[in-house]
Amino acid sequence: MNKLKKVAKIIFKIVIVIFALIGITSTVLISNLIKTPKELLTAISTYQLIVSRFYMNVNNNDLIEGISKGMASSLNDPYSIYYTKEEMIEFNTQLNGIYAGIGMVLGLDKDTNLIKGIRIFKGSPAEKAGLLPGDIIIEIDGKSAEGMDTETVAVNVKGLEGTKVKLVIFRGNEYLDFEITREVIQVPSVTSKFINEETLYIEITSFNENTTKEFRNMLSGLEKEPQNIILDLRNNGGGLLDQAIELARYFTPGGVVLYETGRNQKDLLPFVVDSSLFLNKPLVVLVNENSASASEVLAGAIQDYKSGTLIGDNTFGKAVVQSIYSLPTGGALKLTTERYLTPNKRDLSKEGLTPDVKILMTEEDYMKIDYTALPDIKNDLQLIEAINYFNK
């Protein structure tokens, strides 16, 4: 009887995790799942065999988390990931406190599906330690970075000011070890500067909850009205979609900014803005392979409405949105739930945006740019092309 109770308890735990992960809320879905008991029994049998036959003691929570991580990874979607309870606690704690980092912008390396540094801020701990753009993160404090997304890597790299983080980096054909002391990194998401008498350069590094406010403050603080605008979205990995949509009011003549669609591709949900804030100025948008997600939404809308010219390299191609679902275990599942289409209903999820004027830059070219003196009109080849574009 005790053995039966134990098996029943195990079955209950596994079924609860499976139900939670796939978000079963309707009796129809539940009944469909019950009709396929072999799949459930396979997972349950595997669990029971490991618990009862493995030659060492087994942590039940580790097995449950393994099931959760396995289901998420089986989707072959680099953006869908299971977070453990500890990872969620650490993530939420850092949101509420004053934490520090190393001054490195992160992005996904398409060749390895690992996270790499795409930009190193001048004077930052990362630069002082010798990190370079393109460095692939292999380990963080002895923990493998395989399977981590940018947010998870960021959570693990960040910490209290003055503490150290150990990184194993892959560069070229060798592995390198770094120990870096964290510092408070303060980088506004919007910066601007007049390049000449007529042209205003605006860089948006990410879309966070303050981006639109920073943008409005920047515009209201200008001493003169620009005749031309260069909007730099390079190395902008995205962020909050609502902020990108709000900024589209300044750079498009009004209308649909994007469509959102899920499994049923016939159902398109339009996101619409009005034309009340449209700047209607000659506009160049700089993009590259690290321009992703929300930045692609904004750049794609500008390109479709022909309200600006895109210069640079093909964008990343992350036109999907993730939702985070809390689970009974204390962990959470970040799951890709929707896909974006541009106003002209282009799907950017594979190829990304192709710029109107293609100017390729190597990692060596990017390393020549002086990020402490942005905009660098001497060494930034794509920016130089943007400036010359207004003179054609």
Over 80: is that where the pLDDT of 7 sits? no
Confidence check: pLDDT of 8 > 50: no
pLDDT for position 279: 98
Residue extents of the structural domains in the chain: 2-74, 86-181, 190-389
- pLDDT at residue 188, as a whole number: 81
User: Domain 190-389 classified CATH 2.60.120.640?
Assistant: no
- CA atoms of 245 and 251, how far apart (whole Å): 10
pLDDT tens digits, 238-278: 888 999 999 999 999 999 999 999 887 778 999 999 999 99
Q: Which of 202, 319, 318 is nearest to 251 (CA)?
A: 202
Q: What is the mean pLDDT of residues 152-160?
A: 89
CA 290 – CA 296 distance, rounded (Å): 10
pLDDT digits (tens, 9 = 90+) for 303-344: 999 999 999 999 999 989 888 899 988 889 999 999 999 999
Report the alpha-carbon distance of residue 278 to residue 33 in Å, rounded: 50
- Residues designated as active site: 293, 304, 318
Query: In angstroms, how far is CA 387 from the centroid of its own chain?
Result: 29
The per-residue pLDDT for 367 is 74
- Give me the chain's average pLDDT, please: 86
CATH class of 86-181: mainly beta
* Cβ within 8 Å of residue 22, ≥6 positions away: 29, 71
292-330 CB burial, b ≥16 within 10 A, e <16: bbbbbbbbbbbbbbebbbbbbbbbbbbbbbbeeeebebe
CB atoms within 10 A of CB 128: 14
pLDDT at 91: 61
Percent of the chain with pLDDT over 70: 87
Task: Reply yes or no on whether the pLDDT at 298 is more than 80.
Answer: yes
The answer on pLDDT for 18 being more than 70 is: no
pLDDT value at 346 more than 70: yes
pLDDT tens sequence across 48-100:
899 899 999 998 888 888 888 898 999 999 889 898 887 777 666 554 444 68
Instruction: State the pairing for strand pair 283-287/309-312.
Output: parallel
How far is residue 69's CA from residue 74's CA, in Å, rounded to a whole number? 8
Determine the angle formed by the axes of helices 85-96 and 150-157, rounding to 10 degrees. Answer: 70
Q: What are the tens digits of pLDDT across the range 128-144?
A: 999 998 999 999 999 99
